[in-house]
């Protein structure tokens, strides 16, 4: 059961889209009412993942299936989602560690990013600091979020898998 993190390609867009919408509907349902989730996801399509063309998105594959993805710029974590069937199996932590290494290669400055209410405890376990709660507008709904600060150290975080793809950036 080796996980491979690799750059996302246009062929991954549908898998990313399906995983993303399913993850939000299943995992975030404990923290957000259905009408907020449906409003948040309204209008999403595989073509909307522009980070793929910008080479800012990565997928985690297990046994050839996309089980998680991240969207990472050199200065910010944009998104990180895991298929609900694979939650709590180290995939999110591996994607987070991968994203953190990319960011830390480009800057040592404090880096803030926005998290769902659902993911905030995960990020705290990864060493991030909770800064403040916020609200953003997605389509016609207001979604509560949490601003987090990325850990500033560059060594691996406790519990992160050492088994990563050789193709990592």
Give CA torsion, residues 90, 93, 99, 104, to 10 deg. Answer: -130
Find the domain containing 42 and state its range: 3-108
Give the pair of three-digit tokens for residue 118: 């659902």
pLDDT tops 80 at residue 165: no
Q: How far apart are CA 133 and CA 98, in angstroms?
A: 25
Radius of gyration of the chain (CA): 15
Residue 168 DSSP SS3: coil
Residue 159 lies in a domain: no
Residue 46: is it exposed, middle or buried by C-beta count within 10 angstroms (0-12/13-18/19+)?
Answer: middle
pLDDT tops 80 at residue 160: no
pLDDT tops 60 at residue 82: yes
Residue 46 lies in a domain: yes
pLDDT on residue 154: 52
Residue 27 lies in a domain: yes
| Bridge partner list, 17 | none
pLDDT tops 90 at residue 166: no
Kindly report the CATH number assigned to the domain that includes residue 30. Answer: 3.40.630.30
Residue 41 lies in a domain: yes
Residue 168 lies in a domain: no
Count structural domains, the chain.
1
Residue 62 lies in a domain: yes
Q: What tens digit of pLDDT does each residue of 35-54 get?
A: 999 999 999 999 999 999 99
Residue 80 lies in a domain: yes
What is the reported pTM? 0.87
């Amino acid at each position: 059961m080796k996980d491979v993190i690799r750059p996302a390609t246009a062929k991954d867009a549908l898998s990313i889209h399906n995983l993303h919408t399913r993850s939000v509907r299943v995992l975030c349902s404990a923290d957000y009412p259905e009408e907020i989730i449906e409003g948040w996801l309204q209008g999403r399509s595989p073509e909307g993942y522009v980070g793929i063309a910008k080479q800012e998105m990565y997928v985690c594959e297990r046994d050839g299936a996309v089980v998680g993805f991240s969207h990472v710029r050199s200065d910010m974590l944009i998104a990180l989602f895991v298929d609900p069937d694979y939650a709590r199996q180290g995939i999110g932590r591996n994607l987070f560690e991968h994203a953190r290494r990319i960011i830390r290669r480009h800057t040592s400055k404090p880096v803030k990013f926005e998290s769902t209410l659902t993911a905030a405890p995960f990020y705290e376990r990864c060493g991030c600091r909770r800064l403040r709660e916020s609200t953003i507008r997605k389509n016609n709904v207001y979604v509560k979020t949490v601003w987090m600060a990325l850990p500033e150290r560059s060594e691996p975080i406790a519990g992160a898998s050492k088994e990563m793809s050789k193709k990592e950036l």
